[in-house]
């Protein structure tokens, strides 16, 4: 006859040993939880970055190219005859559609005239030079001799509009009527001589050339700098 199983008891001052399962790691326990990677999405992101960089490079390359162009080697006033020392060439990054002059045309510009003043280092555009002869039809250039006090002391440059007025002799009364006046444009300024006088070339209409020549011969003239006509 089988004997009944007897359970072993421990004294009250001893605790039973219990087996507990290991804790399952969680995000709050400090152990990182592995996430599933998506290699397709990662590859797609890299591909988009590469395509974007290539697109930006292509657009930048199309919008600007490096070319050899003509630039001003020195400050050149308006109306000046261009010399070989006035211009040079430079390799610059020219935006697409810019109006510039190719460096291969440098030699052909010598002898032409500037239609605007040029600043040293500025790129030249076709509109800033002209091969038209000066004086043109219906105009003439008259050289007048001026002394200090007959022309403004501030900078007077080629291309500036002026009025040349006949003046009375020193000590005479001012003329009762209007003084003879000729309108023109400064074409060039000569170097001062030892007595301080110098010659100024003035572009005038051909019907005023005789009057200005006669005024200049008297030595009694005044040059007035006037605003440009709009």
Q: Where are the domains of the chain?
A: 64-130, 139-225
For the chain, the first-to-last Cα distance in angstroms comes to 135
The model's pTM is: 0.51
Phi, psi of 134, deg, nearest 5: -125, 130
- Exposed e or buried b for every residue in 136-149, given b needs 16+ CB within 10 A? eeebbebebebeee
**The architecture CATH gives domain 139-225:** Beta Barrel (2.40)
The domain made up of 64-130 has a fold known as Type Iii Antifreeze Protein Isoform Hplc 12 (3.90.1210)
The token duo for 175 is: 């003329």
Partners of 92 in beta bridges? 67
CA torsion, points 115, 116, 119, 121, in degrees to nearest 10?
Answer: -50
Dihedral (CA of 152, 158, 160, 161) sign = positive
C-alpha span between 87 and 118 (Å, rounded): 10
Tens-level pLDDT at each residue, the chain (230 residues):
555 555 554 555 555 555 555 555 555 555 555 555 567 777 777 777 777 777 676 666 555 567 889 999 999 887 788 899 999 999 888 777 778 898 899 999 988 888 788 899 999 988 888 887 777 788 899 999 999 889 988 878 888 899 999 988 776 667 666 788 999 998 888 888 888 899 999 999 999 999 999 999 999 999 999 987 76
């Amino acid at each position: 006859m089988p004997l009944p199983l007897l359970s072993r008891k421990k004294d009250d001052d001893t605790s039973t040993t219990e087996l507990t399962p290991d804790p399952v790691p969680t995000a709050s326990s400090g152990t990182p939880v592995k996430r599933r990677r998506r290699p397709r999405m990662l590859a797609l992101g890299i591909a988009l970055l590469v395509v974007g960089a290539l697109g930006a490079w292509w657009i930048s390359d199309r919008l600007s190219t490096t070319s050899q162009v003509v630039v001003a080697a020195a400050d050149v006033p308006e109306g000046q005859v261009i010399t070989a020392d006035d211009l040079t060439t430079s390799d610059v990054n020219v935006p697409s559609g810019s109006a510039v002059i190719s460096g291969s045309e440098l030699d052909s510009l010598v002898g032409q005239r500037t239609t605007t003043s040029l600043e040293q280092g500025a790129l030249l555009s076709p509109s800033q030079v002209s091969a038209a002869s000066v004086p043109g039809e219906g105009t003439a250039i008259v050289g007048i001799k001026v002394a200090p006090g007959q022309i403004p002391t501030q900078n007077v440059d080629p291309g500036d509009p002026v009025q040349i007025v006949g003046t009375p002799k020193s000590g005479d009364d001012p003329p009762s009527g209007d003084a003879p006046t000729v309108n023109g444009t400064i074409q060039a300024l000569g170097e001062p001589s030892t007595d301080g006088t110098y010659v100024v070339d003035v572009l005038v209409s051909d019907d005023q050339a005789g009057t200005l020549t006669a005024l200049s011969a008297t030595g009694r003239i005044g040059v007035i700098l006037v605003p440009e006509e709009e």
